[in-house]
A and B are shown apart, each in its own frame.
Chain A
Amino acid sequence: MATKPADVQGFMVRPGGTPSRRPLHLFWIVDGSGSMRADGRIQELNFAVREAMPELRRAASENPSVDLLVRAVAFATGASWHVPDPTPVEEFAWPDLRAGGVSDLGAALALVATELRVPPMPERALPPVIVLISDGRPTDDWETGLSALAGTPWGARAVRTAVAIGDDADLEILQRFSGRSDLRPLRASTIESLTSQIRWASTVALGIAVAGEAAGVPVPAALPANHTMPDVWGPE
């Protein structure tokens, strides 16, 4: 019969406690503008984010030193919190997003920037991950919003990736948002690719945030056998 660790003659057999963990904040910034109503895009987005959750949970569970906390901002005419509280990834549920209005990306970036100051962010954390999903061009002053975001201590360190929906998204702006040549915008033209791109963008950015920046020579890694990523990309 198995003995509970803390139950041998009233003493613990091993010291208690769990390893120290750092919070990792993931922000989704999603486009809820009127153009997302076309071709059922907003429904596809809702579906794709829900589809991405299992992979994200798995990735988080493989990193015992990480507390993955997720929230979301939506932008249309202005920006507002779609999921305001930093929610443990195990408990996260995506509420349906509705589309309508213009495309105020700058307002969304400024809103996230307020959350990346210290406080409310702790001084000790992992670099946040910010995933931007959009199908068009910003209608407001997005550059000021990006400057505000990059001007915060955690915003500057954040790993930022973008997913472009359809052919109208402004890839140059999305690239500026990412700010690094090894994280180019991911393009999604079908629902299948949207699902996989959101999954990849979130999980891979998570990996970068946890592992830190590689110095010297990059060493490839294999995904675990049970991964749920797409198996093939390209041809390019």
Chain B
Amino acid sequence: MARLLMPGQVVRTEPSGQACRVEHFIGGGGQGEVYRATLRGDGVALKWYFPHTATPAQRAALAALIRRGAPSTRFLWPVELAGGDVASFGYVMPLRPARYRSITDLLRRRVEPRFRVLVTAGLGLVDAFLQLHARGLCYRDISFGNAFFDPDTGDVLICDNDNVGIDGDSTSGVLGTPRFMAPEVVRREAWPSADTDLHSLAVLLFYMLMLHHPLEGRRESATASLDKAAIARLFGTEPRFIFDPNDDSNRPDPDVHRVVLSFWPLYPAYLQDLFTRAFTAGLRDPRGGRVREGQWRAALDRMRDEIVYCGACGAESFASVVAGPPAAPCWSCDAPLTLPPALHTGRRVIMLNYDTRLHPYQLDERLAYDFTSCAGRVVRHPALASLWGLRNEGGSGWVADRGAAEPFSVPPGASVVLSDGLHIHFGAGDGVVRAPTAQTEGQRAEAS
């Protein structure tokens, strides 16, 4: 197939006039093709438009995006326009590092990230779109083709940002991706906007966490041919959430939709409630009914705090789902779960797993999400493997006390032994360590 650009071909950035040399084709889409190229000695990505999409309006929109700059580093944002002696134009953006995988890889199960990674990726995505929407912009085409994540860390990148525009300005011809479009867009009653982005984002999150579409239940499995009319009906005129509490007509088909039935019960009720809202009220009321990024962010953040591990097989569960007492068995290996102690900070309950790190934003609610900086971490005593502590990884001392006993200091680098009722003042915030209820001998004795 003929390509728009050839390896070795040089295009010029505008207005700086730097040479951008094409190396090889990376991928193509509906609007153009993406190449790996070299600019000022660095590898970059170069998107080049098909002649029919290379409109003056697109060019003006790109120039506006470049002027504005990226809402956050999670966007592979256009950095320079490019043109040359060829028809059409394109733009230069950062390359996506190879460690980032697509949501399609996730759905095809070519990557098997842990729940913590998935939840972290979801948090990164909703935070990125919050930044975008907060600037008065809308993305218009949130789908699994445009979001990428690192299956080891949960870092996310959002690509194909050239459809981003001012919210409410419908000059872009993009409607979105089937299955991700909001019902009112499917019905052609509205253009993509920040409100419709919220629907697409909810679908993307559901896909990531449940590996399934939230509106594909029995009505989908009973449809012999998923033709244009059927798609318009399932996703536009008669959308029904598969777990709609007031309408069970579109429940998952146990034969066809096994995966979502196994994932759904593993998640906390507050997340299930948000999905229920997003795909019941949110289908009917684009402005007031949809779940906003801040709500997703709070739920995903809470989920990250409450992950626990099965001691027998290492599988993750969410503490509020399994806590009991008595604790539920592990969903993966059926072994009885033993819960670790938890740090109660007033706003949060952070499970203290063997690998838990405390981040400054968890202790000081005024700080922004940042998983890279570390305030403390769960550690084992260096010699006595069954003794556990919380090491002060910050720059200033903590003060701790055990109720009646005298307070004592925990200088940077030192570790405080985890005990039931231990109160730690971290400086910006404080918290109490609690042993799991089901395991405290004293509480068991009191209860009996």
Chain A interfacial positions (CB closer than 8 Å to B):
62, 161, 182-186, 200-201, 204-205, 207-208, 211, 214-225, 227, 229-236
Contacts and interface: CB of A to CB of B under 8 A. Distances in A.
B309 to A, nearest CB: 4
Nearest to B309: A217
B417 A219 contact: no
B344 interface: no
Contact of A232 (B352, B382, B416, B442): B416
Contacts, number: 131
Describe A's contact surface by its main secondary structure: loop
B282 to A, nearest CB: 37
Contacts of B30: none
Contacts of A161: 383-384
A234 B383 contact: no
Contacts of B441: 62, 224
Contacts of A215: 311-312
B418 A223 contact: yes
A220 B341 contact: yes
Interface in B347-384: 352-354, 378, 380-384
A236 to B, nearest CB: 6
A182 B354 CA distance: 14
Contact of B410 (A186, A211, A227, A232): A232
Given A215-B311, A221-B388, 4 more contacts: A183-B385, A217-B311, A219-B338, A224-B419
Nearest to B422: A222
A204 B414 CA distance: 20
Contacts of B389: 233
Contacts of B312: 215-216
Contacts of A236: 382, 413
Nearest to A230: B417
B341 A221 contact: yes
B408 A219 contact: no
A230 B410 CA distance: 12
Contact of A200 (B384, B415, B420, B421): B384
A121 B420 CA distance: 36
Nearest to B413: A235
A222 B311 CA distance: 15
Contacts of B411: 235
Nearest to A162: B383
Closest 5 pairs between A and B when the two form their complex, measured CB to CB: A235-B413, A182-B385, A222-B341, A220-B388, A204-B384
